[in-house]
Amino acid sequence: MRRSGKMKIAAALLLCSTVVLGACGSESSQNKETAKVTEAAGTAASTELAAGEPEKQEDGLTGELNIFVHVGSMDINPVIEKMQQENPDLKINLEMGSGTQYETVLKTKLSAGEAPDIMTVWPGSRTADYAAKGYLEKLTEEPWAARIPATINSEFSLEDDLYAMCFTVGGEGLIYNQDLFDQYNLSVPQNFDELLNVCETFQKNGVQPFASGYKDDWVIMRYTNSAFATLGYGREPDFDKKLASGELDFSYPGWVELFDKYGVLLDKHYFGDAILSTDSSQAIADFATGKTAMMIHTSSTISEIRKVSPDMKLGLTATPVNNAGEELYANWKSGLGFAVSSKSKNKEAAKRFLEIWADPEVNEALYHNNGEPTILNDVPSTGTDPALQDFYS
């Protein structure tokens, strides 16, 4: 397998362009269902509290903790279990939202004055907007804050105040089935011409080159985000600032080229003929079972693929939309964050949840089991999937 020595990581802070290029949460099979989890059987019932305020007892926190989150492919249950063990008289209500509908439901809850104690937010202008409207509690002085790189914290901040704990970082790019590449003696493409040649070879041999998933509208942004790392930020590193100032707009040549090249892939039917009737979960299943050779998606998708095909040889690389001889850039950025409601009646419990998530032993296990690198700079990433190691390095 040939790799380019020129691939660079574009850890762009997508602030001004979040609306168009922002990272939507990828939807996993776990999040297709909405579940409410209350305290385990045998746990003492929560104490009736005056005006709904929690009490602190010697044996832990009491009251209720309402959690409404979207966590991608992460497993939140170990944190819930530890929280419940520490605080047997605390009633925990957990509601999981899907990536497609989560933010719509959250906005409805916030507008109705029914904010959960803990919620999921996205970086950049989306967190800043919630903070500016007074929905979020400041977390600047929390003990875990200094253990997260400042560049990541800045994406969940407003006017130097931190409002969320980032809990996922991820890449977006070309996920490929190395076994199929080996079968047809193909190298991983390093530019757009090579990508077209690879697609043509697969198509001639009866293998659909790409899985789609575009029934879920957020999936298309996996292409635009990953391609713009090269065609946008790679050529114009200050694109965000110049877009905000009006110096550039979306007639920018790299933006036009991005869609022109996507049009070429569509016209050649490299995504198949069911692109608008195939959702993300089906696209992942098609790739995991060898029906397609590639997909343009998030790094967190790899853990979903492993559930179906744990031994598949696969990799993740930058989406090769560059011209021959042009440098190729990968898209790597913050993903999701936990925020605490400024109106929460149980802020102590909500903040304790974040502390448990950041506990070194708990945190290492969470990310080891998910195959993703942790965000905390003092916790080793012991379980990073081999398919991600080259990408993140």
> Domain residue spans in the chain?
8-13+171-333, 29-168+334-383
Average pLDDT over residues 308-333: 95
Average pLDDT over residues 3-7: 42
**For residue 99, pLDDT beyond 80:** no
Parallel, antiparallel, or unpaired: how do β-strands 60-61 and 36-37 relate? unpaired
Q: How far is CA 281 from the centre of its chain?
A: 15
Give dist(CA 198, CA 196) in Å, integer: 5
CB 170 within 8 A of CB 300: yes
Architecture of the domain made up of 8-13+171-333: 3-Layer(aba) Sandwich (3.40)
User: pLDDT-based confidence at 58, cuts 50/70/90?
Assistant: low
Cα torsion at 169, 117, 86, 44 (round to 10°)?
A: -140
**For residue 188, pLDDT beyond 70:** yes
CATH class as words, domain 29-168+334-383: alpha beta
29-168+334-383 matches 8-13+171-333 in CATH topology: yes
Give dist(CA 352, CA 61) in Å, integer: 10
SS3 state at 96: strand
Q: What is the mean pLDDT of the chain?
A: 87
User: pLDDT-based confidence at 52, cuts 50/70/90?
Assistant: very low
Look at residue 238 in the predicted model and tell me its pLDDT: 93
Residues 6+ apart with CB under 8 A from 189: 174, 195, 197, 198, 320
Q: What is the pTM of this model?
A: 0.71
Look at residue 100 in the predicted model and tell me its pLDDT: 76
Higher pLDDT, 38 or 189: 189
pLDDT tens digits along 197-215: 999 999 999 999 999 999 9
Give dist(CA 201, CA 196) in Å, integer: 9
Tell me the CA distances in angstroms from 188 to 106, 134, 244, 319, one per residue in order. 40, 48, 36, 11
% of the chain beyond a pLDDT of 70? 85
- Residue 390 is encoded by which pair of tokens? 């080259």
% of the chain beyond a pLDDT of 90? 73
SS3 state at 113: coil
Higher pLDDT, 9 or 336: 336
SS3 state at 5: coil
* Residue count of the chain: 393
Range with lowest mean pLDDT among 197-201, 322-326, 367-371:
367-371
CB 272 within 8 A of CB 212: yes
Instruction: Give me the phi and psi of 57, to 5 degrees please.
Output: -110, 170
Residues 6+ apart with CB under 8 A from 325: 191
Q: With 0-12 CB in 10 A as exposed, 13-18 as middle and 19+ as buried, what is 393?
A: exposed
Q: Nearest-CA neighbor of 171 among 43, 341, 319?
A: 319
Amino acid at 251: S
Look at residue 370 in the predicted model and tell me its pLDDT: 81
What does the DSSP 8-state code read for residue 210? E
**For residue 154, pLDDT beyond 50:** yes
**For residue 18, pLDDT beyond 80:** no
The residue ranges of DSSP E strands in 263-378, in sequence order, are 292-298, 314-317, 329-334, 337-340
Higher pLDDT, 10 or 222: 222
